[in-house]
Amino acid sequence: MNNEKLYALAGELDDRFIAETMKPRAARRRYLRYAAAAAALLLIFGAAFGVAKAEREGGIRAMRNLYKDLPEGYEFMSELTVPKDAVQPESSAYYGGSSSEYERSYTFREAYQEAYAVCAVSIGDYIGRNEWSTDYNATVERIYKGDLPEEITVCQYVHGKRPTPFHYGDKLLLFLRESRREGYTNAYEVVGADIAQMYLAAAHDGSVYAIDFSGLMSLASYESDEAGYPHNLSELIVDGYPDPENAEQTENGKALLRELAEYLAKTDPGLDGAYMCYVFEIGEIERLFAEFE
Amino acid sequence: MNDRETVGLFLKRDEAALQKAQAEYGAYCVRMANNILGDPRDAEECFSDALAAAWNSIPPDEPEDLGAYLARLTRNAAVDAWRRAHAAKRGSGSMPLPLDEAASSPSPAPEEALYEGDLIEAINGFLSAQPKHKRVIFTMRYFRFESVADIAAELKRSPGSVSAVLRRLKTGLERYLKERGFEL
ipTM of the complex: 0.85
- Give yes or no for residue A177 having a pLDDT over 60: yes
Domain boundary among B69, B95, B121: B95
Single-letter code of the amino acid located at A47: A
pLDDT score at A70:
26
- Give yes or no for residue B92 having a pLDDT over 50: no
B114 with B80, same domain?
no
Q: What is the mean pLDDT of residues B121-126?
A: 92
- Give yes or no for residue A153 having a pLDDT over 70: yes
Lowest mean pLDDT among A131-140, A185-194, B23-32, B164-173: B164-173
Q: What is the CATH number of the domain that holds B175?
A: 1.10.10.10
B155 CA to chain A: closest CA distance, Å? Answer: 7
**Cβ under 8 Å to A: B residues 121-160:** 123-124, 127-128, 131-133, 135-136, 138-140, 142-145, 155-158, 160
- A251 or A214: which leads in pLDDT: A214
For the segment B4-40, what is each residue's pLDDT rounded down to a tens digit? 889 999 998 988 999 999 999 999 999 999 999 988 9
How many domains is chain B partitioned into structurally?
A: 2
B86 with B13, same domain?
yes
Domain boundary among B95, B129, B162: B95
DSSP state of B180: T
Which chain B residue has its CA at the smallest distance from A29's CA? Answer: B24
A92 touches chain B (CB under 8 A): no
Using CA atoms, how far apart are residues B88 and A197, in angstroms rounded to an integer?
56
- Give yes or no for residue B99 having a pLDDT over 60: no
Per the structure, the complete domain to which residue B56 belongs is given by 3-95
Q: Among partner residues B97, B99, B161, which is closest to A144 by beta-carbon distance?
A: B161
- pTM value? 0.49
pLDDT score at A278:
67
Confidence band, pLDDT 50/70/90 cuts, at residue B130: confident
- Give yes or no for residue B44 having a pLDDT over 60: yes
B140 CA to chain A: closest CA distance, Å? Answer: 7
- Give yes or no for residue B129 having a pLDDT over 50: yes
Contact A200, A171 (CB under 8 A): yes
Determine, yes or no, domain membership for B69: yes
Mean pLDDT of chain A: 64
Lowest mean pLDDT among A92-96, A257-261, A273-277: A92-96
B115 with B149, same domain?
yes
A26 touches chain B (CB under 8 A): no
B15 with B41, same domain?
yes
Using CA atoms, how far apart are residues A115 and A196, in angstroms rounded to an integer?
9
Which chain A residue has its CA at the smallest distance from B3's CA? Answer: A24
Using CA atoms, how far apart are residues B42 and B47, in angstroms rounded to an integer?
9
Which chain B residue has its CA at the smallest distance from A142's CA? Answer: B156
B176 touches chain A (CB under 8 A): no
- Give yes or no for residue B83 having a pLDDT over 50: yes
Domain boundary among B34, B60, B95: B95
pLDDT score at A180:
75
A-chain CB neighbours of B138 within 8 Å are 17
B117 with B83, same domain?
no
Q: What is the CATH number of the domain that holds B21?
A: 1.10.1740
B78 touches chain A (CB under 8 A): no
A-chain CB neighbours of B79 within 8 Å are 11
Domain parsing of chain A, residue ranges? 13-60, 100-292
> Strand A151-157 vs strand A133-145: parallel, antiparallel, or unpaired?
antiparallel
